[in-house]
Structure 1
Amino acid sequence: MTDRVCVGAISGAFGVRGEVRLKSFCADPEAIADYAPLYTEDGSRSFGLQITRAVKEGFAARMSGIDSKEEADALKGVRLYADRDRLPSLPDDEFYHADLIGLTVVDPGGKVLGTVRAVHDHGAGDLLEIHGPGLTSTVLLPFTDACVPTVDLAAGRLIADPPEGVFP
């Protein structure tokens, strides 16, 4: 597990007074402000955050130390991370994406199928992007109870029972 979890991203400036356009990755999008201070990926900068209003595809927000449109524009594309201990605990059957990335994927017989490279959510449910031995490209596996019956974070693995034909 990592000490910080990605909770949002800046998609550019909003207006001319230093506000940013913010996209939240939180289950409750407005809760992103509760997890401040937020950090850049490398941890070199931190920001206080105040959401000023909802806008199309996110929020307009004020970030500490950002006072001009130019400063806000310079942050476009920056992903924001919160300390894990500021995030809420999850039920046993829910996981932060950051915890799934890097897990070894094995089949029910124990054969290694690969490693989780990323978790994608396109609106119809999460997909695990898996790459591993014998794969010429990544495989997308639905993150459902049927396809992934067991996630063992302590052991660093998940057991996958993929539909036939997904893995060679």
Structure 2
Amino acid sequence: MKSQFLEAGQIVNTHGIQGEVKIVPWCDSPEFLCGFDTFYIDGAPVKVRAARAHKGNVLARLEGVEDVNAAMRLKSKIVEIDRSGIVLPEGRHFIADLIGLTVIDDDTGASIGVIDEVLTPPAHEVYVVKGEGKTYMIPAVDAFLRGTNVDEGWVRVHLIEGMEG
């Protein structure tokens, strides 16, 4: 079952003396995270008064955080967002929704394991699939992805030599 809230970043430091926090985003871009008017920290909603992208991070002013001491108390906290209202482009999925999906070899119809991790190097995502003592590294590109159905819990892939590690 999909969680209503998604981990979207981590507060790693303060910025200046006015209570801004520096967030390392765990999404496609810092600009995406800047588009939210509410973050959830420790399960509680926190209004975003202002947010801007800065050197690959997000600098945010949060309601109730008025100085550097209040901002410092948030250091290392995970920032979550509410998935309701987010419309992803066709064929895009939240990484959190991919973890645990069954991966099926499209050529044989056999299950080869489940997605254990999604790596995000600059070129494209890579699915780390673990099953029956084997690990596969599958680039998340059209040449290898044959279909994804998060609601039914599966991804179909085309395997080639060298994917099994």
TM-score range (shorter-chain normalised) is: 0.7 to 0.9
- The CA distance in 1 between the partners of 2:36 and 2:19, in whole Å, is 21
Confirm whether residue 14 of structure 1 aligns to residue 32 of structure 2: no
Offset from partner CA, 1:48-78 (integer Å, 9 cap, x none): 1133554333232111222232332232232
Q: Is the 8 A contact 1:35 1:83 kept in 2?
A: no
TM-score, normalisation: structure 1: 0.83
Q: Is the 8 A contact 1:127 1:143 kept in 2?
A: yes
Q: Quote the residue 2:138 is aligned against.
A: 141
Unaligned runs of 5+ in 1: none
Residues 162 and 77 (structure 1), Cα distance of their counterparts in 2 relative to 1, 3 Å cut? farther
- The CA distance in 1 between the partners of 2:25 and 2:37, in whole Å, is 13
- The CA distance in 1 between the partners of 2:158 and 2:129, in whole Å, is 13
Confirm whether residue 157 of structure 1 aligns to residue 154 of structure 2: yes
Question: What is the Cα-based RMSD across aligned positions, in Å?
Answer: 2.2
Q: Is the 8 A contact 2:34 2:52 kept in 1?
A: no
Q: Quote the residue 2:4 is aligned against.
A: 3
Q: Quote the residue 1:132 is aligned against.
A: 131
Q: 1:96 aligns with which of 84, 94, 97?
A: 94
Q: Secondary structure at the match of 2:35?
A: helix
TM-score, normalisation: structure 2: 0.84
Residues 122 and 51 (structure 1), Cα distance of their counterparts in 2 relative to 1, 3 Å cut? farther
Percent identity of equivalent pairs: 29
Offset from partner CA, 1:10-44 (integer Å, 9 cap, x none): 2211112211012334445334243232113x52x
Residues 117 and 76 (structure 1), Cα distance of their counterparts in 2 relative to 1, 3 Å cut? farther
- The CA distance in 2 between the partners of 1:61 and 1:144, in whole Å, is 34
**Cα deviation, residue 141, structure 1:** 1.5
Q: Is the 8 A contact 1:17 1:69 kept in 2?
A: yes
Runs of 4+ residues deviating >6 angstroms: none
Residues 71 and 165 (structure 1), Cα distance of their counterparts in 2 relative to 1, 3 Å cut? same
**Cα deviation, residue 110, structure 1:** 2.3
Between the two proteins, the alignment pairs up a number of residues equal to: 163
